[in-house]
Structure 1
């Protein structure tokens, strides 16, 4: 089996160790930003990467090669994985477009963010011959220790839901994930790609918490402290998350009515609880207690900037730059196509777009001048509900 991983970040380092340790799997890396640096560092250690696991053990994998040329590594690949933030998908999809074959499955980890419509636009007619899938989450919480040499894995989610286009390829994609990551992660079929597009993860959690903390800030008075983002979670933030969760469920139901898609988008509370080992969560009885007692979230602060006299909110953080245009706006775009109201999503977008000096919503409609910068289907010229799938 031939696998190509795209990028050079934290998740790629874990994959180099894990996939590179699986027998009968040949792993290559396609790097665009730091590919030469990665290639040079790997060469110093016989192309091996070590992953230090949460239980104190380690995993060592071997990379066949690193290349900056997609024509050198993509042809003949069974599986191409892109474990990158949504904003980084475009250059990699454009680079591999002319080199993938119908036998290649392209995986986005995670699959939230609407990149399937980006892929449709990039691949054009060739998209009919491509298998694209997205996972319901990124399985790793990890940080690079030494670039091209070692990585620290803090948490591993051992099951990955795989939703695909075409939808009947989801089992095949799940099998590829299970084989490539044998012993570490198991793939599970999830049907339609929209199943993971709409999932209430970052788009639900981050903007809701930031709104609860800063919606009444006067724009000039520093905060004395930087609050813990999860351990000091507020009831107001959780209530907003539940409102977004309700909006997403209503959008999924609208898609079902329009297309008979039978989406199974999970509810936020049971979904999050299922992702962590029970011994990490002190009290999973409510969404609020889940956040406050989850050891996996311990010590994580709020995106803020230290200034004279205290702290300002960091409005340039990915909680805005990613979770609004590639999260809430994607959900809002789908909602527009199926005619479903999203009051809580709208509240958060309106607040955030004012801060970001963007216009996504205008007079209550998803038609602002900056919709084209989002990954909503409308940004790629898709307006017919039939084009959602």
Structure 2
């Protein structure tokens, strides 16, 4: 019997995973706000020169058409869109359905537990399965990079071995099971790396100031960025030590990048070919360039990234002066209030991935 998969979201990952899974013989539907812009068939071109053409079972904006008979629902969405999508599909979910997210560090497990309840069958990846880009919306996408191995965590899934086998087959990549959902939820990747770099690039910016050029986000990485990132990672590692997680699945950034200090980390990040042409998030204005505060580097990695790490640190009473410095700067340039009087109690917290102590300990005990 064919397994029914529903992909929620029409970004690069949504396109690529839908196309690849359909090519592998799964019955794939796509839930998107723009179904009229999709072809019934999808073309995927990968980094090895392979091309996959596959037919989709259904593309719709109506969850009632696809969610009730789905065995797996996979959210391919940014952190700020997850709550809305879960509320959108909740009335149509069946008890047998496994609900997952392509990344977990934006608060997926906590948001899903809060909305769907303690019996929901959840899974989430530690990092995104692929580097993916849309070439022609609804028609063709590019799979720009495979990963050697993927790591996934589950909550309330009794036959996790079957899910693991299914994910490996549909993504054509080995998948390893993590021991705890926090091992997927907490990462020192984008939630720390992006904000630390943004702070180093733009903390001297003030209203009215413009820049003459757009620097490379990675290929002009400097030691100031590395030093701040290492300091934030040291605080992050203190959080991990206070939690029931293994350190091995979440190595320090120096270990992950095979570096030993700020200078070697700078050289390593600058040398990564896949990062070479990624620009800093900026927008063109009459007199030059400004930081693009509408970029997902800002709209996701602050309220649904570093803020989540800060909220867990606060629950555990762990001081995070470097993370605080970045978050305070971020809320200032975004015109938001997350930290108020030294604590996470600002007026804009409800629109973030903030985790309170009650929710944290409920899910921890689940």
2: CA distance between counterparts of 1:351 and 1:293?
28
Aligned to 1:247: 235
Aligned match of 2:307:
329
SS in 2 for 1:217: coil
Q: Distance in 2 between matches of 1:173 and 1:272?
A: 30
Measured after TM superposition, the shift of residue 262 of structure 1 is 4.3
Q: State TM-score, norm by structure 2.
A: 0.91
Could you say which residue in structure 1 is the equivalent of 2:142? 152
User: Shift of the alpha carbon at 1:347?
Assistant: 0.9
- Tell me, what secondary structure is at the counterpart of 1:20? helix
Whole-angstrom CA distance in 2 between matches of 1:134 and 1:105: 10
Distance 1:383 1:109, change over 3 A: closer
Secondary structure of the 1:36 match is: helix
Q: Which residue of 2 aligns with 1:290?
A: 268
2:16 to 5, 14, 17: 14
The match for 2:288 among 301, 310, 313 is 310
- Give CA deviations for 1:312-338 in whole Å, capped at 9, x if unaligned: 222232222111110111111111112
- What TM-score, normalized to structure 1? 0.86
Q: 1:106 aligns to what SS in structure 2? A: strand
State the match for 2:350 in structure 1. Answer: 372
Q: How does 1:1-389 map to 2 (within 5 A)?
A: 1-23=3-25, 25-31=26-32, 33-38=33-38, 42=39, 47-124=40-117, 127-128=118-119, 130-166=120-156, 171-181=161-171, 184-256=172-244, 261-262=245-246, 264-271=249-256, 286-378=264-356, 382=358, 385-388=361-364
Q: Is the 8 A contact 1:225 1:310 kept in 2?
A: yes
* Shift in Å, 1:367: 1.8
Relative to structure 1, the CA distance from residue 82 to residue 170 in structure 2 (aligned partners, 3 Å threshold; closer, same or farther) is same
Say whether the 8 Å CA contact 2:10–2:76 is kept in structure 1.
no
The one-character-per-residue Cα deviations of 1:50-77 (angstroms, maximum 9, x if unpaired) are 1111122211222112232222212232
CA–CA separation in structure 2 for the residues paired with 1:148 and 1:217: 38
Task: Report SS of the residue matched to 1:192.
Answer: coil
Q: Is the 8 A contact 2:107 2:308 kept in 1?
A: yes
Q: Mind listing any 5+ residue stretches in structure 1 that lack a counterpart?
A: 274-284
- Please tell me whether the aligned partners of residues 167 and 193 of structure 1 are also in contact (alpha carbons under 8 angstroms): no
Aligned partners of 1:301 and 1:67: how far apart in 2?
34
For this pair of structures, how many residues does the alignment match?
360
Structure 2: gaps of 5 or more residues: none
Larger displacement relative to structure 2 (288-297 or 170-179): 170-179
Separation in 1 of the partners of 2:234 and 2:134? 37
Q: Secondary structure at the match of 2:178?
A: strand
Aligned-pair CA distance for 1:352: 0.8
Map Cα deviations across residues 236-284 of structure 1 (whole Å, 9 max, x no partner): 101111122112111111223xxxx5464322244457xxxxxxxxxxx
Distance 1:75 1:314, change over 3 A: same
Where 1:289 maps in the other structure, the secondary structure is helix
Distance 1:314 1:67, change over 3 A: closer
Q: CA deviation digits over 1:330-357, x for unaligned, max 9?
A: 1111111122111211111111111112
Aligned partners of 1:215 and 1:351 also within 8 Å: yes
Residue 166 of structure 1: how far off its partner (Å): 3.4
